[in-house]
Structure formats: C-alpha cells, structure tokens
Amino acid sequence: MRRCQRYRPIHPNVPMGLSPPAATLKQSDGQSRHGLLGSLAQGEVVSSPWKPRLWLTVLLGIVLQPFVFLYVNRPRLFWGYLLVSLVTAGIDWYYELALTLLFSLICPLHAVMIARRYDPQTPRRWFNRASVAVGLYLAVMVSILGARTFLYEPYQVPSASMRPTLMEGNLFVAQKRGFAHRSLFGFTLPGSDQLDTARLQRGQIYVFYPPGHDALYVKRLMALPGDVIALTPDGVVINGERLPRELLSDSEGIRIYRERNGGQSYRIQQLDAAAPQPIQTFKVPQGHYFFLGDNRDNSNDSRYWGSVLAERVVGEMVWLVNKTDPAASTP
C-alpha cells in the first residue's frame, strides 16, 4: 500500500529547498550589494557615523592648541585661534609675558564642548583626523624653525655695552641669510663655512660668537681683515685716518658723540668717570673682524678677546624694536 505524500505548495519565485523568507532575504542582500557597488562606481562617498574622541581632543588641545579645531571639524575656529595665538606670541615676545600658555587651557576646553555636542551624522572631512592635525602642526613648526635658522631670528639685548644705540632689554631681529654660522640644537649645519663677506660692512651691528665664548654678543663692526685700528683718547683711527665725530651732549657725566664709519652714522658714549686708557693698536688678521661696543668705556669687545673669525658671525641687525628709550632707535 503506497503512502500518500504531503502536498507542499511551491512559490513561483522560490527555488526548490528554500522557503520564501529565505529567498527574499537573499534577494534583498543581493540588491544591497549591487547598490553599494554602483555607488562606489559612481564616485559617491559612503561615510559611517563618527564622533571625535574626548581624550584625544583634550590631548590635541593641550599640545597642538589651535590645530585641535581641525580634528573637531571647526576650520573657522582654527584660523581664528591661530591668528589670535600669533598676535599673543608677539605680545609675549615684546613684553616678556607668557600669555600663550593660556591657549593650552582654553583650546582643549572649547574643543571638548564641541566634541560633546558633535553630530555623528556630520560628514567627516579630510582634516578631521588626528594625524592630519599633527602633520600640519609639525609642518608649521618646521617652517618657523627653518626661518629662524636660515633667514631671520629675534634677539634681546642683554647688557648696556651698546648704549646709547641699544638699551638693555631692547628687542631686535637679525638677518641670517648670507652668513656662515648656522646651528640647530647645538649641531653645526652644512654650509656653515660659506660666508658672503660683502655682507660685513664697517659701522653695521652684528650678532656673533666671540673667540672662546659660547654666548652670542651684539656689537658694531669697526675694522675689516687687514685693517690697522688704533683706539685713542680722541677717538678711533683706522688705517691712519681718524673717524669723524662730533659732540652731541655732555651731561650727568656722559658724553654722547656722533661717529661716522664706512658710510654709517651712529651715536657712541663715553663716561667722564672712566679711567684714562692708553693708546691701543690692533692689526686685524685675514678672515677676522674687529668689533666694539658703542658704550666705549663699558664694553667687553675685541679690545679684550680679539678679532672674530668670519665663520662665527651669525647675522646682521636689520630691525630694532625699541621698548625703553625713544631716542635709542636712531643709530
């Protein structure tokens, strides 16, 4: 006797052995894959929800300061904070403050507030990555370091040896392009032995390392290689010719003169209370330069440690930022 087989209805679009829900699921999955491939083929960006990490936001804000706003997708705040931080850095340099340290507190706090309210559905842009913020920060720092090493660098006058031209605490910028001595973190860089000697002119002010000293000095160049310079009570004599000078003032024990050397006109001062000095004569060796301070009776200069090797000249003063005496900016 033959058993009767149970009747199973067959769905017209369902293969044998699969139930309709399974087939529908497989079909929907296939359609999704085709849709994704089609979107990628057409160049559309498929983004997933993303939100800045709070701990990383705090870290970037403390270290990178304005650059953290790139990570939290606020480029306008980045440019605004960057501009304000640069202005603040200039104020700090001029007034010897430390206001820029406040950005290590303000930037992370502001960025964390943004990160907490961040909408995960906001499209993530190319700069919303910590690696991009760090890379741009390093690029800016390297550019600044390169400019200070090879182009221009700010300095501060440490003493009264250049009065009345430079006062203690005055800030100035020296141009380093064309000069030989280049160092970075104590290491001498390639090309430090190449010097454009035409940049060294009598009467100009330069920054240099004196013989046997590791500290930078700022003095006025008085004599070139091969010159014979004599220091007398009546002024400076170079190669037998006395430098022209005229008395500008004589008060409170200080005499101010205007002296001319190499086409440059500048002021010097002498002290009435200074002990008389004998005539001193020096022959400047080849490849060396003779420097004096404008405060002739109170300056540690080439009279005491000798002429300076050309390769030890760092740069020429090109811009004086006067903080003390308005008259001091007139050399």
Active site residues: 161, 219
Strand residue runs (E) in 163-297: 171-175, 183-184, 187-188, 205-208, 217-223, 228-232, 235-238, 241-242, 245-251, 254-261, 264-271, 280-283, 288-292
Contact 69, 75 (CB under 8 A): yes
- Per-residue tokens: 107: 């930037």
Please tell me the distance from the alpha carbon of residue 297 to that of residue 277, in angstroms, as a whole number: 9
Structure letter (DSSP) for residue 309: E
Scan for tokens 């280049």, then name that residue. Answer: 182
With vertex at residue 23, the alpha carbon angle to CA 21 and CA 25, rounded to the nearest 5 degrees, is 70
Q: DSSP letters along 102-154, please?
A: GHHHHHHHHHHHHHHT--TTSPPPTT-SHHHHHHHHHHHHHHHHHHHHHTEEE
Tell me the one-letter amino acid at 93: W
With vertex at residue 152, the alpha carbon angle to CA 288 and CA 328, rounded to the nearest 5 degrees, is 80
Closest CA to 284 of 225, 204, 222, 238: 225
- Per-residue tokens: 289: 């330069």
Closest CA to 132 of 55, 80, 54, 78: 78
Q: Show Cβ contacts of residue 203 under 8 Å, excluding neighbours closer than 6 positions.
A: 220, 221, 222, 260, 261, 262, 263, 264, 265, 266
Contact 238, 261 (CB under 8 A): yes
